[in-house]
A and B are shown apart, each in its own frame.
Chain A
Amino acid sequence: MFPYIIRRLLIAIPVLLGVTVFSFLIVNLAPGNPVEMFVNPDISQADIELKKEALGLNDPIYVQYFRWLGNLVQGDFGFSYSTYEPVLSMVAQRIGPTLLLMGTALIVAYLFAIPIGVLSATRQYSWLDYLSTSASFLGISIPHFFLGLGFIYIFAVQLHVLPTGGMNTLGSDEGFADTFKHLILPALVLAAGIAGRMVRYVRSSMLDILGQDYLRTARSKGLREFFVINKHAFRNALIPIITVIGIDVSVLIGGAVVTEQIFQWPGLGQLTIQSIGSRDYPTLMAINFLAAIAVLTSNLLADIFYSVADPRIKYD
């Protein structure tokens, strides 16, 4: 297994390099550039030209790319074109909140979705099954922004039980309880979508397995139903589910963008939107790079968990 992991990590290098080339091209080919969008009529053309020169925007695109890559190799992500802050520290500040939000959403979603999916499959066509499939359908189809605004209206504006947004109450304590309160609504919004999808995967995956011969064998050996379901069936149903978890990470990054906007959650999603709006190339590149690493890592982890869940899968 370890040689496999090493090999996968080595393959990741050219893949990452390819990702940077493509994202650099795409980011730079998007119309508009960091200095051309100043709306303040007081700014003179001469000042704009000076800024452009200082940021190296007049160089050909490949020169800009290799300069960026050269700095990256030395661990330098450059500085933001709009705030002049080092990109690394900007991104580092945002990772914590994003991980907290995504992690909570994932845990909450799976804690609910997996048992519900299993129950739903074992009691197919029961009222519970209908209820859970309709609820999961709702969870998938309600857009994040809609659910988010609805939650804000109900829980913050009408009931006054939760804050409308942000990560901490300003000017008061910033302890964990306070952060937790701010976390509830955005995490629920994100979790709703993930859970909805998960319930359906678990349910159909379980249904597939439940018809298999080996389960009948297990039952006929006199094994208790609880063990049949949870040991034999669920374990085999896990394999396709692990793939879904791997995909969820990348889906989450996208979903978090909208949710973070609505709840002013200070994570990477919000930073992404700001950086796109201001065509802040270095920041966008750093975010792309990190996202690529996250996706590659989660895929690798999924593959490793595969072999844990199913001994038939071996990597040499």
Chain B
Amino acid sequence: MKRIRRTIGIAAIASLLLLAGCGGGSNTASSGGGSSSGNSGGSSSAGKTMFLGMVNPPIIFNPINSTDVASQFAEKFMFDTFLEMEGPLKFVPKLAESFETSDNQTFTIKINKDAKWSDGKPVTAEDAAFTFKLIANPKVETTVGSYLSMFDGLENTGKLKEGQTELSAVKVIDEKTIQFKTKAPVDPNMVKEQLGTKLMILPKHALENVDPAALSQNPFMQKPTVTNGPFKFVQYKKDQYIEYEKNPDYYLGAPELDKLFIKVLPAPNLVAQLQTGEVHMNVASGIGKIPPQDYETVKKFENVRTKDEPQFGFQTMMFNTEKLPDPKVRQAIAYALDRPQIVDKLLKGYGEVVDGPYTSINPYLDKSLEKYSYNVEKAKQLLQEAGWDFNRELNFVVPLGNKVREQSADILTQNLQAIGLKVKVTTYDFPTVMQKAKAGEFELLLMGLTFTLDPEVSSLYSSIGTFNFMKYKNPKVDELLLKGKAEPNSDKRKEIYNELQKIWNQDVPLITLYSDNEFSAISKQVANGEPKVFGFHNHLEKWSVGGAQ
């Protein structure tokens, strides 16, 4: 009896070990253990493979329904946009040979005659029309509906009216030419930026039989099988890496690289892997950022070169204007904040103080506008004038996840206390912050935003804007925002947006704090290609890595 018990015991333990072993065994088997070339650590990954490092994991590869920047970024390696923006409002052709309008209302896109899908079928105007129609279909889940909102015959939401199925604004002229019409003349730059550089089209022949309501769940959206960009999708090991292989039939020429990997890894590991050579470079767009506090360290690595450049995302402190209705109070706070200190100390000078929603690289920034300089006396004086009750406590909501922003909250809190304000800081994870923001459960709130370069920022300042957490209502602003969006002439637009910047500067529904530079590090092994704020995905086919260092 005793022996039997012991045998059971041993068998049980052995089976436990086996179970643990099996888990690993099956996994390595499924990931296709093949040859044993014995490459250690990836540091000698010579040949034609490049490794990029990204901090945020991409979620889904659905070009018309991606909610996060990382997914959109990753999609652009396999799906081409019509145009690419190489510099502020400087557009160059990509999938579109031309993107033109003569009256700012009817736009004609000619698709590159050589462009093909990876299965050999040509990319046609039908594909573009199919994609537009899907986006406008009220049953289709999409995140790019607002790009179509100016289309003739569509609701302001970018959707077809109830019961309609035909998208009259869009016309297929011939196999490679498509035309669409907007409700009224618009600034071509706005259309080019939104529809041109952000929208990716879907292959009609692969998806036309899918039920539009179930499009999001279609496996194509997790593992695209037919693409038109320089790289083809191989696999996505969730939250680990995306593997691409070259598309030898790419219409702009076969890529130099055979394979490309985007690794997903936390920022400290990104820095470590840049040093060990396991990644060749980080990606741009704020999703593969080297933390500012590590940038000096990375600069000293011998195997990489570094660069930093201004970008158009920025951080703000939003005011709940319903709880702080007096502009004088908000102005006082704006004067009280020592924003230059954040740039000097936290960003170590790699960034800028921003006034208003446009950073220094935006052509629509009104540089003549008077800025809120750091002025404690003026702040105190304004509070006195406003008759502020100094016993009142302000609820200051800070989102977790961005180290610099978290640290900036400490400086900002001290600044506010210095003018006699009582502040209660609470930090939450991002979903909680969004709920507090929408419900207006805050007086002060930190949030980062990245818009298009186009000055259209209704979603932030319009009284019905999705991101108007400030509950800011100014009829004049609403009117000007509509006027600005509808104005086709860019000089006239500039006047409108200058006027808006003046009003926002007076009303201060939010105070913009700082914009941190994009920091990049590129391995010296890389012969061609680097992270950029503009035109990152332009000429990916020319990217290459050299042999030995």
Which A residues have a C-beta under 8 Å from some C-beta of B?
30-33, 36-48, 50-51, 54, 79, 82-85, 90, 93, 95-100, 102-104, 106-107, 149, 152-153, 156-157, 160, 162-177, 179, 181, 183, 261-262, 264, 266, 270-271, 274, 276-279, 301, 304-305, 308-309, 311
Contacts and interface: CB of A to CB of B under 8 A. Distances in A.
A90 B239 CA distance: 11
Contact of B198 (A42, A168, A183): A42
A181 B217 CA distance: 37
A100 B27 contact: yes
A90 B450 CA distance: 31
Contacts of B144: 42
Given A37-B434, A100-B24, A47 B43 contact: no
Contacts of B23: 95-100, 103
B28 to A, nearest CB: 5
A162 B278 CA distance: 12
Contacts of B6: 308
Of listed A32, A162, A279, A305, residue having the most chain B CB within 10 A: A32
A305 B216 CA distance: 48
**Ranked 5 nearest A-B pairs via Cβ:** A103-B20, A32-B431, A99-B23, A100-B24, A172-B39
Given A48-B466, A270-B239, A309-B9, A176 B146 contact: no
Given A33-B431, A96-B23, A175-B36, A168 B145 contact: no
B293 interface: no
A309 B19 CA distance: 22
B222 A36 contact: no
Contacts of A173: 33-39
A102 B20 contact: yes
Contacts of A40: 67-69, 143
B265 A163 contact: no
Nearest to A53: B141
Interface in B207-242: 213, 216-217, 221-222, 237-241
A179 to B, nearest CB: 5
B11 to A, nearest CB: 10
B256 to A, nearest CB: 16
B157 A44 contact: yes
Interface string B107-135: 00000000000000000000000000000
Given A164-B276, A173-B39, A179-B28, A43 B20 contact: no
B224 to A, nearest CB: 13
B373 interface: no
Given A44-B149, A163-B42, A261 B266 contact: yes
B449 A278 contact: no
B31 to A, nearest CB: 5
Given A42-B452, A84-B216, A175 B276 contact: no
B12 interface: yes
Contacts of A309: 9
Given A41-B467, A103-B20, A36 B28 contact: no
B417 interface: no
Given A44-B157, A47-B146, A99-B23, 9 more contacts: A31-B435, A41-B467, A47-B157, A85-B222, A156-B276, A157-B276, A173-B36, A278-B431, A311-B5
Given A82-B59, A100-B23, A166-B240, A174 B146 contact: no
B311 interface: no
A77 to B, nearest CB: 14
B390 interface: no
A79 to B, nearest CB: 6
Nearest to B72: A40
A85 B159 CA distance: 26
Of listed A33, A40, A98, A179, residue having the most chain B CB within 10 A: A40
A41 B468 CA distance: 10
Contacts of B87: none
A261 B435 CA distance: 26
Contacts of B40: 169, 181
B544 to A, nearest CB: 15
B388 interface: no
Contacts of A37: 430-431, 434
Contact of A38 (B42, B67, B149): B67
B39 A83 contact: no
A164 B272 contact: yes
A99 B19 contact: yes
B24 A179 contact: yes
A194 B539 CA distance: 51
B239 A79 contact: no
Interface in B427-459: 428-436, 438, 448-452, 457, 459
